[in-house]
């Protein structure tokens, strides 16, 4: 459950309470994928390290994920940028219900996003006609302050730090932008 209006957050309590090693589910997942943190015998750069730490923290690798998303947010992905080394990009999908100005009466028999048993928005079953609105958010994320690995060994604390920092930066930038989109989406059109 999201205690705030954040788009993404780390669920420390669930992670700790359901840890097979008694400490951290996320730490166990990281250690089981330790080979991903080895760049031919050298430590990863900060961006590659953070991207792998993020990927492991999210569903479908961890289910439920160490990183949780608001019910209107689909997959959130972090990757290195093609613009150059040390640059990072976050991409996410925000699911939007039908806008108020849409002529609902003309769309009889069409379905919108549905609320799943887990609380998120999901596409209706495949045999239904659906008109699903979403917006794709792409934003550069500063690599400043990301932990820089010094070894090829898995550093759980550094991975945890990277994931928390990415959550904070995604929320700070994408959150206000999506608020504006959602507010304008709900306005009545004449």
Q: Tens digit of pLDDT for each residue in 76-133?
A: 999 998 877 778 999 999 999 888 777 767 788 899 999 887 667 888 888 899 999 9
pLDDT tens, position by position, 145-160: 999 999 999 999 999 9
Tell whether the model's pLDDT for residue 177 goes beyond 60. Answer: yes
Cβ burial 37-61 (10 Å sphere, 16+ → b, else e): beeeeebbbbbbbbbbbbbbbbeee
Alpha carbon distance 175, 28 (integer Å): 30
CA distances from 52 to 103, 117, 131 (A): 44, 29, 34
Return the minimum-mean-pLDDT range out of 30-39, 50-59, 114-123: 114-123
Mean pLDDT over all residues of the chain?
A: 90
Distance CA 150, CA 57 (A): 21
Q: What is the pLDDT of residue 161?
A: 98
Residues 6+ apart with CB under 8 A from 167: 6, 8, 9, 10, 67
- CA torsion 122-123-128-132 (nearest 10°) is 120
């Amino acid at each position: 459950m999201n205690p705030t209006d954040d788009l993404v957050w780390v669920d420390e309590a669930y992670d700790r309470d359901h840890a097979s090693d008694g400490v951290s589910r996320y730490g166990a997942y990281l250690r089981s994928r330790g080979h991903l943190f080895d760049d031919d015998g050298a430590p990863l750069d900060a961006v590659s390290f953070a991207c792998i730490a993020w990927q492991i923290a999210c569903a479908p690798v961890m289910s439920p994920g160490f990183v949780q998303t608001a019910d209107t947010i689909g997959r959130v992905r972090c990757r290195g940028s093609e613009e150059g080394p040390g640059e990072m990009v976050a991409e996410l999908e925000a699911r939007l219900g039908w806008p108020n100005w849409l002529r609902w009466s003309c769309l009889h028999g069409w379905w919108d996003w549905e609320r799943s048993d887990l609380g998120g928005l999901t596409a209706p079953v495949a045999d239904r006609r659906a008109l699903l609105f979403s917006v794709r958010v792409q934003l550069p994320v500063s690599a400043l302050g990301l932990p820089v690995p010094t070894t090829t060994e898995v550093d759980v604390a550094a991975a945890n730090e990277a994931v928390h920092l990415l959550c904070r930066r995604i929320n700070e930038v994408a959150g206000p932008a999506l608020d504006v989109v959602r507010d304008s989406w709900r306005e009545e059109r004449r």
